Amino acid sequence: DSAEESFEFRAEVQRLMNIIIHSLYSNKEIFFRELVSNAADALEKLRFLSLTNRTLLSDESLDNLKIQIDFDPENRTITIEDNGIGMTKQELINNLGVVARSGTLNFLEQLKEQKDSSLIGQFGVGFYAAYLVADKVSVISKSIYDKAYVWESTADKTFTVKEYADQSIGRGTRVILHVRQDSTEFLNEHALRQLVDKYCRFITFPIYMKVESNVSDEEDSMEEDEEILDSSYSKSKTQIKNVVLNEQKPTWLRDPSEVKEDEYKALFLSLSPYSKTYLTKTHFRAEGEVEFRSILFIPERPPFDFFSEESEGSPIKLYLKRVLVSDKFAKDALLPRWLSFVLGIVDSDDLPINISREMLQQSKIVQLIRKKMIQKSLEMIRNLATSDEVEALSSEHKDTPLTKGANYSQFWKQYGKYIKLGVIEDSEYRKKLINLLRFKSSKTSEQDPDDYTSLKNYISRMKAGQNVIYYLAGESVASVRKSPLLEQLQAKDFEVLFLTEPIDEYLMQTLTEFEGYKFVDVSKENLRLGDDDKTIQSKLSKAKKRYQPLIDHLEQTLSEYVTRVKVTSRLVNTPCMLVAAEGGYSANTERILRAQAL
Ligand code: ADP
Ligand code: MG
């Protein structure tokens, strides 16, 4: 079947390609990251296959895994080639056009809000980024299981597949981009080197490019990785050499003191399609029961699919002796759900070789790795928090000893929900996590959005006579701050925590006490403020008598809406307020339940 066959792209792929070609003009360079990462994936897959199937590849062949970049300004092509696993004819058809990729629609949705092409990789449709710079793409691929085929498309709703003319080519995939007029800026050595620097430092396979070099500076620039390709040039001024452009010793295997900040950043970018920088990181080597090396990052913001059911969980890449074993874990395998925002890499020599995903979760070694990773993640978060506290202590404002500083509050704003989730669902780490909670309160600054209090600080400010922790839930800090429910507490100078997130309702069901102090909802009836003072009591009973007719009248007229009407000592300036019945839902819970029912 050497004839050319034509196929239609799936409808949503057609739409995607159309948008890519016609309306994504910024950040075109990410085509390079996507295609090189596909090449690296193909090499990883081959290496992984060979771990379980020794006969597949000779050792020599394994040592020669590489990516080759080339460019041809005359024919206006850029070529990205790998000698990885390759694709069969059917895989070319399925992977590059026909089979539904779950991310395609999600990416299209995302594009409506934000025309940011750099997110394309996150949605599993990175290949099509080729069309950011090319009007025609040819993919020549040879799998060990099939002949060589060529896939081709000009993004006109169809693609073709036919047998490749030269069947003597080796295993792997060559992607040829026919560069559009508006993307000529990538058709030169300098631009491509810059892209390698920017996007490929983390790639553990050598990336080669043929470059011209002056013979005169050859002596001092001879690197061991370069091959001289055309020695006939050597007598003239220049020669062409195939040089390695990237450093391949994986960052995580190096000594932390030798790794520069921008190298961490490059590694981070390779892991994080949705965040450009990180808040903090940790680079460590675990020793003892289990040995591994790891770098973990907390991105500056969380993934889009926060807590969603389809979410793949955290992109922790697990390497076994530098071979990527998995980057798509069953949820919770390496980190619990409440740490699913942590990104990173783990490389261990201790894992059994042909480990399956299911086995991974049961493996004792994985359990040990997991434990250590949780510990290190918590340490990372705690460090953010303490660096803030140090700052707060050294500041001059003695009367407001609240936790301050942008770092932890920045973390808290993005990830507070996750910490609360941890308190709710992880009894093993609950105690540690409670210390990481932060709240807005009646004593945190109204002006400073970064001002939060920890429970520890709340307690340190408790007034004589106060023996519980007060909280009030509501829609927003601004609205809660104005609540008449606060009047009496404020008159006594008792601090009240403000809870304004939906998850807080569940949090407060778990959180019943802290260091022996109970949590008390200010919006519930029968709130006692610790002083059943005699004069108040007698005043109250007098008022009760006096207002009984009014109470009766109100209870009758409002019987559809309220359970009870009472005279209270809780108000200072406001004539009346609505409270939740003891044991009943708070107003805030009702609001949330109503929202969920919609
Ligand atoms: P993703 O890489 O997230 O799966 P892509 O759109 O980048 O999505 O690639 C689609 C699929 O095409 C890949 O999953 C892979 O199966 C296949 N593919 C792409 N490039 C290559 C390559 N160089 N070698 C082998 N297979 C490839
Ligand atoms: Mg890809």
* 285-321 pLDDT tens trace: 998 888 899 999 999 888 765 555 445 545 788 877 6
| Residue found by looking up tokens 């996507």 in the block | 34
Mean pLDDT along residues 172-178: 98
Mean pLDDT along residues 254-265: 90
Are 127 and 97 within 8 A, CB to CB?
no
Sheet with strand 5-8: strands edge to edge: 5-8, 158-163, 148-153, 134-142, 172-179, 77-82, 67-72, 207-214, 238-244, 227-228
For 369-381, the three-class secondary structure string (H helix, E strand, C coil) is: HHHHHHHHHHHHH
Q: Pocket of ligand 1, candidates 31, 36, 38: which has the most ligand atoms within 8 Å of its Cβ, to mutate?
A: 38
Are 294 and 342 within 8 A, CB to CB?
no
Provide the 3-class DSSP secondary structure of residue 392. helix
- Dist CA 372 CA 374 (whole Å): 5
Output the CA torsion 244→250→255→258 (10° steps). 40
- Dist CA 138 CA 131 (whole Å): 11
- Global pTM value: 0.60
Mean pLDDT along residues 220-249: 68
Distance, CA of 51 to chain centre: 30
Q: Quick one: angle between helices 11-23 and 103-113, nearest 10?
A: 40
Which pLDDT does position 189 carry in this prediction? 94
Which pLDDT does position 349 carry in this prediction? 75
Output the CA torsion 187→192→194→195 (10° steps). 110
Phi, psi of 286 (to 5 degrees): -95, 135
Classify the C-alpha dihedral 312-143-37-222 as positive or negative: positive
Largest CA distance in the chain: 113
Using CA atoms, how far residue 388 sits from 296, 380, 401, 404, 457, in Å, is 21, 13, 12, 6, 13
| 22: its two tokens | 């016609």
Which pLDDT does position 60 carry in this prediction? 67
For 513-544, the three-class secondary structure string (H helix, E strand, C coil) is: EECCEEEEECCECCCCCCCCCHHHHHHHHHHH
Q: Return the top range by mean pLDDT from 251-255, 440-444, 589-593.
A: 440-444
Average pLDDT over all residues of the chain: 82
Mean pLDDT along residues 247-267: 86
Ligand nearest to the CA of 79: 1
Which pLDDT does position 320 carry in this prediction? 72
- Dist CA 534 CA 526 (whole Å): 17
- Dist CA 480 CA 498 (whole Å): 7
Which pLDDT does position 356 carry in this prediction? 55
Query: When comparing pLDDT for 264 and 357, which is higher?
Result: 264
Which pLDDT does position 152 carry in this prediction? 97
Across 86-90, 195-199, 297-301, 579-583, least confident range? 579-583
**Cα 34 to averaged position of ligand 2 atoms, centre (Å):** 5
Does the pLDDT value for residue 495 go beyond 80? yes
**Cα 38 to averaged position of ligand 1 atoms, centre (Å):** 5
404 falls in which pLDDT band (50, 70, 90)? very low
| Residue found by looking up tokens 């004539």 in the block | 575
Which pLDDT does position 288 carry in this prediction? 86
Ligand nearest to the CA of 44: 1
Phi, psi of 243 (to 5 degrees): -115, 155
| Residue found by looking up tokens 């996750």 in the block | 418
Ligand nearest to the CA of 327: 1
- Dist CA 170 CA 66 (whole Å): 13
Are 127 and 151 within 8 A, CB to CB?
no
Kindly state the helix (H) or strand (E) to which residue 317 belongs, with its residue range: strand 316-320
**Cα 126 to averaged position of ligand 2 atoms, centre (Å):** 5
Are 596 and 588 within 8 A, CB to CB?
no
Which residue's CA is the closest to the ligand 1 atom numbered 20?
Answer: 38
The ligand 1 site (C-beta within 6 Å) comprises 34, 38-39, 41-42, 82, 84-87, 95-96, 124-127, 173
Mean pLDDT along residues 505-526: 88
Q: Which residues contact 320 (CB under 8 A, 6 or more apart)?
A: 51, 347, 348, 349, 351, 353, 355
| 248: its two tokens | 């391949």
Are 177 and 134 within 8 A, CB to CB?
yes
Which pLDDT does position 399 carry in this prediction? 38
Which pLDDT does position 573 carry in this prediction? 73
Query: When comparing pLDDT for 334 and 36, which is higher?
Result: 36
The pairing of beta strand 207-214 with beta strand 5-8: unpaired
**Cα 121 to averaged position of ligand 2 atoms, centre (Å):** 6
Using CA atoms, how far residue 111 sits from 104, 156, 226, in Å, is 11, 21, 42
Are 251 and 202 within 8 A, CB to CB?
yes
69 falls in which pLDDT band (50, 70, 90)? very high
Q: Which residues contact 523 (CB under 8 A, 6 or more apart)?
A: 472, 473, 485, 579, 580, 586, 587, 588
Annotated binding residues for ATP, as ranges?
34, 38, 82, 87, 95, 102-103, 122-127, 173, 357
